[in-house]
Structure 1
Amino acid sequence: MRLSPGMRDNLAKRHQVSIATADQQTAVPQASADSLHLKIVELDQDRAELRARFTRVADRVEHKRMVLIPKYAPLAEQFLASGKSYDNPVFSTVLVWLFDVGELEKAIDWCLKSIELDVPTPDYIKRGWPTFCADQVLEWAEANAKHGNSVEPYFSQVADKVTTTWKIHEQIVAKFYKFKGLQLLRNEDGDIAITSVGSVETLNKAKAILKQAEDVYAKAGVASNIKKIDARIRALETGKNL
């Protein structure tokens, strides 16, 4: 079939449009990659300035909260909303900072999504997200519990993942069981006061949880607590006050 000059001209124009469209589609990822690269360079500079400018941990935390997180969070949120999975140091660093400043609700939510998307941790974090999240939340929970403050809902949210879903080291799993058991034995001031617990049911529940810690990891360090619980139960059952 012979094409008329007009038909040939239309085909040529469509071909040119197709080439231009393909070029644009190819250029977008490259532009995005270049933009991310520039932001990573800027991020590295800000992190270096953070270390050089602030000596006290509290000052660094405040700078992250007031300056760095607001600066980089929109980029991190865009990445998360895209649903894509690749190494994004801007996003992963903001996520670490969220734990640093105590924004646990968002930090845990982002962490769960990072695990789902298989996004790696920053180079300077030598752990995967499950272990990092578990360590951070347990540290936060221990600090709050000692002052009699609530650790919920964040502790239970992560403890459920640690004890049922995440494949992490047994020692960490045991630490969560240990903390959960000891929580039942704290007084209003946050002190572990086994001799002040007046409920045999509570004591037995705490003992069962502590034994789970020992079952998971033999060196969980709960043996002395279990002995004290047993002594307290005997005292309550015999009417003796220890």
Structure 2
Amino acid sequence: MRELSPAQRHKARVLAELATASAEPGGPTTGSQYELQLYQLAEDRRRLKNIHSIKSKIALKAQLLPNYHAWIDAVLTAGKGGQDDVFTTILVWSIDAGDYKRAAQMAGYAMAHKMTLPDQYNRDIPTMLLDEFSEAFLHGKLAEDPAQAESILEQIGQLTEGSDVPDQARAKLHKALAHAQLQLADGDDDKPDLVGQSLNYAQSAYRHLQRALELFQGVGVKKDIEILERRLKKAEHG
């Protein structure tokens, strides 16, 4: 897909806003502009299907995402909550590609309007958000910025709080949030002593680890809890 000129981008944004604004809450998104987006998405999904390397898939998704910016901006600005397979697919791609701030913004809209994922994902949006953002921290690039990670993970926890999701998914989020807070507690110098704000982070992390274990015994935090208990006792006794 060739890069659009500024005038073409503006026109695409206006048309997209008209299309998204016309969709009723919970109803299907329709119109020629949406059909064009669906066609482009189908073409891009075919390209991705032909790639076997996960890293290469992620790189291609990052390259393709700007082609959907006008549509996503329009949904966030003018959308009324119509079901939109383009939006929800790009939400997943944004997490995959490491555009976490944008993905969290999209997650808020998707949850507010009870949107669903296309059939090929075999999960609902709350479960997907818990799984993918947790993985992004535990095994991905979200861990590179623990302060941003803590903020985003807390946001995802709040967005999905009332949702019926597998305990394993919720436990994984608590584990990821605990590890983000432990990074903040340790700081850049990996200090062994817990004082002040570091102690607050560590205490909060301990609560998240305990909750993770309550939800799912196999979440893999028992060793973390033992180590943190020793550190907290040491801090308590000075």
Instruction: Please report the TM-score for the alignment, with normalisation by the length of structure 2.
Output: 0.66
1:56 partner letter: S
> Does the CA contact (< 8 Å) of 1:83 and 1:117 recur in 2?
no
Unpaired stretches in structure 2, ≥5 consecutive residues: 1-21, 24-29
Residue correspondence of structure 1 range 1-242 to structure 2 within 5 A: 32-33=30-31, 36-37=34-35, 39-52=37-50, 54-66=51-63, 68-142=64-138, 143-144=140-141, 150=147, 151-162=149-160, 164-186=161-183, 187=186, 196-198=192-194, 201=199, 205-232=204-231
Other structure's SS at 2:119 match: coil
Which structure: larger Rg?
Answer: 1
Q: Percent of counterpart pairs with the same letter?
A: 23
Unpaired stretches in structure 1, ≥5 consecutive residues: 1-27
Q: Aligned residue for 1:13?
A: none
Whole-angstrom distance in 1 between the partners of 2:56 and 2:134? 23
Greater relative contact order: 1 or 2 (C-alpha under 8 angstroms, separation 6 or more)?
Answer: 2
Number of residue-to-residue matches in the alignment: 204
Other structure's SS at 2:225 match: helix
> Does the CA contact (< 8 Å) of 2:58 and 2:97 recur in 1?
yes
Moved more, 101-110 or 42-51: 42-51
Shift, 1:140, TM fit? 1.4
RMSD over aligned CA atoms reads: 3.6
Shift, 1:213, TM fit? 2.2
> Does the CA contact (< 8 Å) of 2:175 and 2:208 recur in 1?
yes
Whole-angstrom distance in 2 between the partners of 1:115 and 1:233? 37
Instruction: Please report the TM-score for the alignment, with normalisation by the length of structure 1.
Output: 0.65
Whole-angstrom distance in 1 between the partners of 2:39 and 2:158? 38
Shift, 1:48, TM fit? 0.7
